[in-house]
Copies of this chain bind each other. A is one copy, B any other.
Amino acid sequence: MATLVEAKLAELGIVLPQPAMPIATYVPYVTTGDLVAVSGQLPMLDGKVSVTGKLGATVPIEQGQQAAQRCFINLLAQVKAACDGDLDRVRRVVRLGGFIACAPEFTRHAEVMNGASDLAVAVFGEAGRHARSTIGVPSLPLDAAVEVEGWFEIV
């Protein structure tokens, strides 16, 4: 039987990927008490970074938002693993950190990051409302346009 959050994901037409394994000695998430710290996620899709380049240069706002959304989907896949497959155990999206690769004169970071934030609320409702910090960066691993990390509270 699908969980409530899974039903919402289906309604939104979102298919969670297999959670990506980092190719290094770090891990995708660590649970400490009832908090889960999830590693920064890139907009991976089918094994590749789906949006590369920089906002304010080669990447338009809409594409940046899609990248942020994809990062959040990948966060969800990790959190699902942290919850042994039951996303209804997520009590709160505590904090998202958004890193936007951009030209130095770019100023619309918040709009880009809304791609992740709006999806969090669409999926979890009030429990999806999170604290967040969004900053520009000169570049990200693998030339990704966006990276999003998260802290979640689970039961």
Contact = CB atoms under 8 A, between A and B. Distances in A.
A37 B149 CA distance: 14
Contact of A147 (B30, B102, B135): B135
A112 to B, nearest CB: 10
Interface string A99-137: 101111111111001100110110000001111111111
A109 B140 contact: yes
Nearest to A54: B104
B130 A27 contact: yes
B94 A30 contact: yes
A22 B37 CA distance: 24
A35 to B, nearest CB: 7
Give the most central of A24, A108, A128: most B CB within 10 Å.
Answer: A24
B139 A104 contact: yes
Given A25-B120, A94-B37, A107-B142, A135 B137 contact: yes
A92 B35 CA distance: 13
Contact of A138 (B26, B104, B110, B129): B104
Interface of A: 22-30, 32-35, 37-40, 54, 92-97, 99, 101-110, 113-114, 117-118, 120-121, 128-143, 147, 149, 151, 153
5 contacts: A32-B151, A33-B33, A33-B35, A39-B133, A40-B133
